[in-house]
Structure 1
Amino acid sequence: MFDQLEIIENRYEQLNELLSDPDIVSDSDKLRDYSKEQSDLQRAVDLFRQYKQQKETIEESKMLLGETGDKEMLDMLKEEISDAEKRIPDLEEQMKLELIPKDPNDDKNVIMEIRGAAGGDEAQIFAGDLFRMYSRYAESKGWNIEVVEAHESDQGGYKEISFMIQGQGAFSKLKYENGAHRVQRVPETESGGRIHTSTATVAVLPEVEEVEVDIKNEDLKIDTYRSSGAGGQHVNTTDSAVRITHFPTGLVVTSQDEKSQIKNRERAMKVMVARIYDMKEKEAKAEYAEKRKSAIGTGDRSERIRTYNYPQSRVTDHRIGLTIQKLEQIVEGRLDEIIDALTIEEQTSKLEDLNNAAI
């Protein structure tokens, strides 16, 4: 571990020199890339330097212990040694976490898709509840939300809705929401008071820069048509809605929320790129996923990851066996307790892999 940290610290210092080079400063691309790399290394370097400082404090204080007979000085030195020794284990754990391989998508914006699944009208109402929950969560983080496409149901909620969440680290938090969500409650239309179980699926995709996915113009078909709202009423009289078809994969994306055809095309293309990227990622990971299921689940959309039980005001995340009696707060977007627990579980699993690899 310490050899790796030495390499990281040396690279950090090298980046300091590069970022002071006039040729680099005048090159916006290199300046951006080097600045980001240094920022990514900052915390590991800070922790390593704190660790080395504590070790130095212990060594220097122990040397001074043998050179002084003053009781007050001896007590002070012993306290310094004790404090430093207490800090070292925590610093070591934090440094290990910094050495865990980072998900390259963690800092990216998110494209989310929610669909009502089993349960008819109630499933679509639940899809609307989930959209509201994620919207509130995003607002609490200061993130921006943009609806790409929405198909409302007659009873309220959505048959399906896709939207973008833009904000630093959005994917790192929301990636755990990928999967099937289940709700247990008495629908408003249920006269007998019986509890129904319904599901909605949530897909979470990182927004992808177009350069990361090779999409040829000849592989795309772009159609325009009039946007329409509920009941078939025209939102406007121009062909502003856009439908993009990608022939090699058969994927189709539409966007009609904006009045501008250009904006709808941009949004639809972003979703298309993200879906193609997601498809390629899943294909690449398919063999690995067969051998080992991660601690937080495969992320497959058919997997039931969480249950929202209204009669008992209980939310259970089945991947880690976490049950919280705070349903009202959670559906209002207070997801930190669940997401933090899932993050810790993932980090613990990766730490175990790291430790096993070092043996």
Structure 2
Amino acid sequence: MKKTSLINKFEILEKEFHKISKYILQKDVLSNSKKYKFFLKKYKKLNKIVKIYDIYKKKLISLKEANTILKIDYDPEMKEMAFLEKNKILEDLSLIERKFYNLYLNDINKNNDRNAILELRSGTGGDEACLFVEDILRMYIMYFKEMNWKYEIIHIQKGGVKGYKEIILNVIGNNKIGVYGNLKFESGVHRVQRIPKTESQGRVHTSAITVAVLPEIQDIEMNINSSDIKKDTFRSSGSGGQHVNKTESAVRLTHIPSKITVECQEERSQHKNFEKAMNVLRSRIYQKQMEKKFQEQSIKRKSLVSTGDRSVKIRTYNYPKGRVTDHRIHKSIYDLVGFMNGNIQKMINYLKLSEIENK
């Protein structure tokens, strides 16, 4: 990282620190425990960076002084002392830069500790794609059980015969392992190659589904103007007995500026459906803003790992060969049965390693 670029980052974060330092002392923040904890966490992180920046600036002044002595002083002893001092300062600066980089990288990956919204949708392949959505859903649920995570169903749309056209879950962690930090690698197109149950001649068919993983965003982080949301209610067509079909408990929210639409009908209460729908809406708006930000900055990544591009084919599940292949890292696991039973952490670990190497 170039020093000018590093100093610019330091200055931006220092300004943000001073801004939060004042904001956190306001009455409306102090009286709201949820808001106070959120900004206190940010304050502590930025405080560490500001302290590092103070040391860094002092080292740069010392480096300038050592360079001046080497340039204008004719005393050999002074020159030797300045030379040794300069080398020591350069070592210190390198350590400080590395320390900042680690903190900054953690800040970039701050979403890793969040809960996640997981969206599965059938793609090409008709009924077979719907069946594969159901298979992948089962795979993830078994993985959640292994990780001691909980999940809530937000929205379901059943397939024509069996399986699902679409299903949306809220995945909740246990504060030990970040949900989004693991699941973010699943975003993209998942392709399956197998003989469908309806195939009489034993031919292998190729179908595809899309997976989208979004970080869960708290309401205090994103204030959506109520006038920008169109709310529609309707009778649920999902599970829940006669009650959901007799009352308009289902909720559809449309964010007018972005045209993002979210539905939720799994709860008996309209209020609970509204809360769940808002949760998904915040995450989708946040994701759209992040994608726009990356495009504006012209960020081009050599690896597609964790970019979340839904149009990219990331993985193939080849049933005849019992193989799962991740195309981003060119890695294959020859245990399809185990993989489909939720043993996916090994592949996720490979993807994590690739992400670290790229960064």
Amino acid at match of 2:119: E
The whole-number CA distance in structure 2 between the counterparts of 1:41 and 1:328 is 48
> Where does residue 72 of structure 2 map in the other structure?
none
Amino acid at match of 1:150: I
Amino acid at match of 2:212: A
Query: 117, 122, 130: which one pairs with 2:128?
Result: 122
Evaluate the alpha carbon distance shift between residue 339 and residue 96 of structure 1 in structure 2; reply closer, same or farther with a 3 A threshold: farther
Matches within 5 A, 1:54-69: none
The whole-number CA distance in structure 1 between the counterparts of 2:46 and 2:334 is 37
Query: Aligned-pair distance for 1:154?
Result: 3.0
> Is residue 2:184 matched to residue 1:180?
no
Evaluate the alpha carbon distance shift between residue 317 and residue 289 of structure 1 in structure 2; reply closer, same or farther with a 3 A threshold: farther
Show structure 1 runs of 5+ residues with no match. 5-25, 43-93, 351-359
- Partner of 1:229, secondary structure, is coil
> Is residue 2:162 matched to residue 1:156?
yes
Query: 282, 293, 297: which one pairs with 2:291?
Result: 282
Query: Aligned-pair distance for 1:299?
Result: 2.3
The alignment covers a number of residue pairs equal to 283
Amino acid at match of 2:112: D
The whole-number CA distance in structure 2 between the counterparts of 1:213 and 1:40 is 20
Query: Aligned-pair distance for 1:30?
Result: 5.2
> Is residue 2:332 matched to residue 1:296?
no
Evaluate the alpha carbon distance shift between residue 148 and residue 36 of structure 1 in structure 2; reply closer, same or farther with a 3 A threshold: same
Query: Aligned-pair distance for 1:126?
Result: 0.6
**Which digits, 9 at most, give the CA deviation of each residue in 1:315-346, with x for residues without a partner?**
00000011000111111111110000100111
**Which digits, 9 at most, give the CA deviation of each residue in 1:2-43, with x for residues without a partner?**
xx9xxxxxxxxxxxxxxxxxxxxx98565665568769999x
Query: Aligned-pair distance for 1:249?
Result: 1.1
Assess if the C-alpha contact under 8 Å between 1:150 and 1:160 holds in 2.
yes
Query: Aligned-pair distance for 1:264?
Result: 0.3
**Which digits, 9 at most, give the CA deviation of each residue in 1:167-206, with x for residues without a partner?**
1310000000000000000001111110000000001101
Assess if the C-alpha contact under 8 Å between 2:194 and 2:206 holds in 1.
yes
> Is residue 2:251 matched to residue 1:246?
no
Evaluate the alpha carbon distance shift between residue 98 and residue 129 of structure 1 in structure 2; reply closer, same or farther with a 3 A threshold: same
> Where does residue 206 of structure 2 map in the other structure?
197
Query: 149, 171, 176: which one pairs with 2:180?
Result: 171
Query: 237, 241, 266: which one pairs with 1:257?
Result: 266
- Partner of 1:101, secondary structure, is helix
Query: 116, 120, 130: which one pairs with 1:110?
Result: 116
Amino acid at match of 1:159: K
Evaluate the alpha carbon distance shift between residue 209 and residue 194 of structure 1 in structure 2; reply closer, same or farther with a 3 A threshold: same
> Where does residue 101 of structure 1 map in the other structure?
105
- Partner of 2:230, secondary structure, is strand
Aligned residues with identical type, % of pairs: 45
The whole-number CA distance in structure 1 between the counterparts of 2:198 and 2:318 is 18
Query: Aligned-pair distance for 1:214?
Result: 3.4
Assess if the C-alpha contact under 8 Å between 1:110 and 1:170 holds in 2.
yes
Amino acid at match of 2:146: S
Show structure 2 runs of 5+ residues with no match. 7-29, 49-97
> Where does residue 132 of structure 1 map in the other structure?
138
Query: Aligned-pair distance for 1:136?
Result: 1.2
What TM-score do you get using the length of structure 2 for normalisation? Answer: 0.70
The whole-number CA distance in structure 2 between the counterparts of 1:323 and 1:97 is 32
Amino acid at match of 1:313: G
When the two chains are superposed, the root-mean-square deviation of aligned CA atoms in Å is: 3.4
Assess if the C-alpha contact under 8 Å between 1:182 and 1:200 holds in 2.
yes
Query: Aligned-pair distance for 1:211?
Result: 2.9
The whole-number CA distance in structure 2 between the counterparts of 1:172 and 1:40 is 21
